[in-house]
Structure 1
Amino acid sequence: MGERKGTNKYYPPDYDPKVGGLNKFLGTHALRERARKIHQGIIIIRFEMPYNIWCDGCKNHVGMGVRYNAEKTKVGMYYTTPVYQFKMKCHLCDNHYVIRADPANLDYVIISGARRQENRWDPTQNGQVVPETKETQKRLFDDSMFKLEHGSEDKSTSESAKPRLAKLFNRNEETWSDSYTANQKLRAEFRRKNCEQKGLEEKSRTLSKKSSLDIPLLEENEEDNRIARLLSMKPAKTSEENSVEIRARIVSECLLPSANFSRKRETVAVKILESDKPNLGVVLKRRPTAEEEADVKKAKTNVSLVGDYSSSGDSDC
């Protein structure tokens, strides 16, 4: 587009062909604004993001295919191939990405400003068709025996993959045979998830407003609740656990409370009774105290014997 702007059919009256082209006569570059830093070795180009990234500035996701006006700079050579570096500004914040081409691995490397979202895997592990390396291609061209063996291996791989491919094909046909019903189910699922997401956002917004918080809130989970209880030193229990504990305490309590009753004595007594040969121990007779002996003597002296005839003077004889 820049070249088209410089090439037009209008020539001003004072144009002198001896000066050169029209751009040289006007003192402009064919790329116009895109060449404003060409004296620094920088050209502004339209760069397309080669893969998904995460911005280090705003922590947002930038998808593959998003286009930026990037500053293109030559930073080196890989044999006879130039290595270019691209610098661009995030469209969501003031952060800048710096991405460099990697001709050796046919890839792009992030130098600063972002990190790559890892979606790479080994294609040989999921049955994908992998292009042959240059060494293999060379051997296929030069070695007839290797070519024959390689062809037989490809045929065996194809035969073993046919049942799996047929199963996948039939499954796809069953799922998408009625495109209207499948689309309806997907849209219903998307609407349900969208309503749940809006409900969570509204709840988070209400809680943030109530607590005067200006930070994004994440969803609750059981692990966070457990750690919060441990930090507050107040381990909470569920209603079921509380019910079980209260029931066990009621069952273990004595109906007739005694001053000498305790949970420890109850546990010891239950162990003795549940044993095969309960050892009840030796019963020892307690020695009475001096006050108890005096009370016994006093009681003996005050006893009156009914029918004691020796004290009476009358006689039937």
Structure 2
Amino acid sequence: MGERKGQNLYYPPDYDPRVGGLNKFKGTHALRERARKLHLGILIIRFEMPYNIWCDGCNNHIGMGVRYNAEKTKIGMYYTTPVYQFKMKCHLCNNHYEIKTDPGNLDYVIVSGARRQENRWDPTENGQIVADTKETQKRLFDDPMFKLEHKSGDVQVSKEAKSRLNKLFNRNEDLWKDSYEANCMLRKNFRGKSKELQKSALRDKMLLSKSSLDIPLLPESLEDSNMAALLALKPAVDINERQSVLRRDIINSSALPSSTGLITSFGGLKKEKLLQSKPLSRNSLGIALKIPKPFNEPEEIQNIESKESLDDTKESIRDNKKRVAEDDCNVENKKSLIALCDYDSTSSSD
């Protein structure tokens, strides 16, 4: 396929073959822009991300296999193997991160600008088969006793894992023995989830259209619903505050109310009490102010006490009104009797 490539290059009329190649004649490098920092020991290459990382600049996830234009620099040697460092810019922000090779552990190490997503584990802890190292393979070939011990250990491990493998195999056979039933069960689960997703999407669409919003909504959680229910409740007035307002109104009210009436407030509600125009003293009204208790009683008991105190106050006012009316009647009767007596005395004298 090499003969099909276009190898024809343009040679200007003043080209001198004694200079060397065409690049030397023009004073350029064969790598063009990739070699613009070659005098600093930096070569621009195409670098592929060896594992998943998190960018420290924008905290975004960058997956394994994403490619960047990186500046390759030689920073040292590991025995006879060179150690290279790669510097690249994040494609989502202005952050730069640097990664270097680690020939001793056959891995890459992040120097700065990012952090690695840890997906590493010890395969021996998970019961996985680990390949023998070169030293172990050499010892198995040279040492018959070590080979026998290694084989007996493998047999013991296989016996321990046999029961677990049998359980997994039997479970798989019972679950997928009837392919039709398994297929129906899976389709039923997928259909139910699909209906739930459609309902939630329709509900979100209605809510967004009602609120005139165009933002993605997260799924509803129990914590959000509880917080919304608490925010919907109106702050209630404490029973102690209501009792203090009632006492203040009673103390500041006039002992000589007018005929138009007196408007008092109780718990934020206005009530109009029409009283008679006759003068009444506070002692005659018989209003008893209760001393607040040092401890907080339950709200139901305090509501009952406040209602009873109001009922007692109304009854005392009603009794006092009747008593005053009876006193007025007695005074009028006494005045009429005195007038009759005076009239009789004058008539007898005459």
Secondary structure of 2:9's counterpart equals coil
**In 1: Cα distance, 2:178 partner to 2:98 partner:** 46
Contact 1:204 1:217 survives alignment (8 Å) = no
Q: Does 1:76 align with 2:76?
A: yes
Note the C-alpha offset of 1:125.
0.9
**Contact preservation (8 Å) 1:58, 1:93:** yes
Alpha carbons of 1:28 and 1:135: their partners in 2 closer, same or farther (altered >3 Å)?
A: same
Q: Tell whether 2:117 aligns with 1:110.
A: no
Aligned mates of 1:7, 1:21 — CA distance in 2: 17
Alignment of 1:27-38 (within 5 A): 27-38=27-38
Return closer, same or farther for 1:192/1:101 CA change in 2, 3 Å cut-off.
Answer: farther
| Residue in 1 that maps onto 2:7 | 8
Structure 2 distance, partners of 1:249, 1:59, is 52
| Distance change in 2, residues 1:81/1:116 (3 Å) | same
Which digits, 9 at most, give the CA deviation of each residue in 1:237-264, with x for residues without a partner? Answer: xxxxxxxxxxx97699999x999xxxxx
Query: Per-residue displacement from partner, 1:271-294 (whole Å, max 9, x unpaired)?
Result: xxxxxxxxxxxxxxxxxxxxxxxx
Secondary structure at the counterpart of residue 161 of structure 1: helix
Q: How far 1:47 moved relative to its partner?
A: 1.4
- 1:54-73 map, 5 Å: 54-73=54-73
Letter in 2 for 1:28: T
8-17 or 42-51: bigger deviation:
8-17
| Structure 1 residues 39 and 219: alpha-carbon distance in aligned structure 2, compared to 1, 3 A threshold | farther
Mean CA deviation greater in 191-200 or 7-16:
191-200
Most deviating of 87-96 and 11-20 = 11-20
TM-score (norm 2): 0.51
Unaligned runs of 5+ in 2: 236-297, 310-350
Aligned to 1:47: 47
Give the letter aligned to residue 11 of structure 2.
P
Q: Which moved more, 1:60-69 or 1:155-164?
A: 155-164
Structure 1 counterpart of 2:8, one-letter code: K
* Residue 17 (structure 2) pairs with residue 17 (structure 1): yes
Q: Is 1:165 aligned to 2:165, yes or no?
A: yes
Q: Report the secondary structure of 2:87's partner residue.
A: strand
Whichever residue aligns with residue 9 of structure 1, its letter is: N
Q: Matched residue of 2:160: which SS? A: helix
Q: How does 1:267-282 map to 2 (within 5 A)?
A: none
Q: CA deviation at 1:81?
A: 1.0
Instruction: Give the deviation of 1:132 after TM superposition.
Output: 2.4
Asked if 1 retains the 8 angstrom alpha-carbon contact of 2:52 and 2:64, the reply is: yes
SS in 1 for 2:124: helix
Mark the CA change 1:189 to 1:108 in structure 2 (over 3 Å): closer, same or farther: farther
Cα gap change, 1:27/1:102 in structure 2, threshold over 3 Å: closer, same or farther?
same
How many equivalent residue pairs?
Answer: 236
Residue 109 and residue 142 in structure 1: after superposition, are their counterparts in 2 closer, same or farther (change >3 A)? same
Q: Cα gap change, 1:177/1:98 in structure 2, threshold over 3 Å: closer, same or farther?
A: farther
Q: Could you say which residue in structure 1 is the equivalent of 2:281?
A: none
Looking at structure 1, the residues matched to 32 and 128 of structure 2 have their Cα atoms a distance apart, in angstroms, of 46
Cα 1:166–1:176 shift into 2, 3 Å: same
Q: C-alpha deviations, 1:159-212, integer Å up to 9, x for none?
A: 433443354456556459859949964865885786699689989989x999xx
Q: How far 1:83 moved relative to its partner?
A: 0.8
1:101 maps to amino acid = T
Q: How does 1:50-199 map to 2 (within 5 A)?
A: 50-169=50-169, 174=175, 181=183, 185=187
Cα contact 2:49–2:64 (8 A) shared by 1: yes
Q: Tell me, which stretches of 5 or more residues in structure 1 are unaligned?
A: 1-5, 235-247, 260-317
| 1:163-312 aligned within 5 A | 163-169=163-169, 174=175, 181=183, 185=187, 222=223
Q: RMSD in angstroms over aligned alpha carbons?
A: 4.9
**Take 1:90 and 1:108, find their aligned partners in 2: how far apart are those partners?**
18
Q: Is the 8 A contact 1:11 1:22 kept in 2?
A: no
Structure 2 CA distance for aligned equivalents of residues 49 and 157 of structure 1: 37
Question: Which amino acid is 1:8 matched to?
Answer: Q
CA distance in 2, matches of 1:193, 1:101: 49
Cα distance between partner residues in 1 of 2:302 and 2:96: 71
The superposition leaves residues 76-105 of structure 1 with CA deviations (integer Å, 9 ceiling, x where unpaired) of 111111111111111212211211111111
1:54 counterpart letter in structure 2: W
Instruction: Check whether the contact 2:11–2:22 (CA below 8 A) recurs between aligned residues.
Output: no
Deviation at 1:156, TM superposition (A): 2.6
The alpha-carbon distance between structure 1 residues 223 and 82, as it changes in their structure 2 partners (threshold 3 A), is farther
Change (3 A) 1:111 1:171: farther
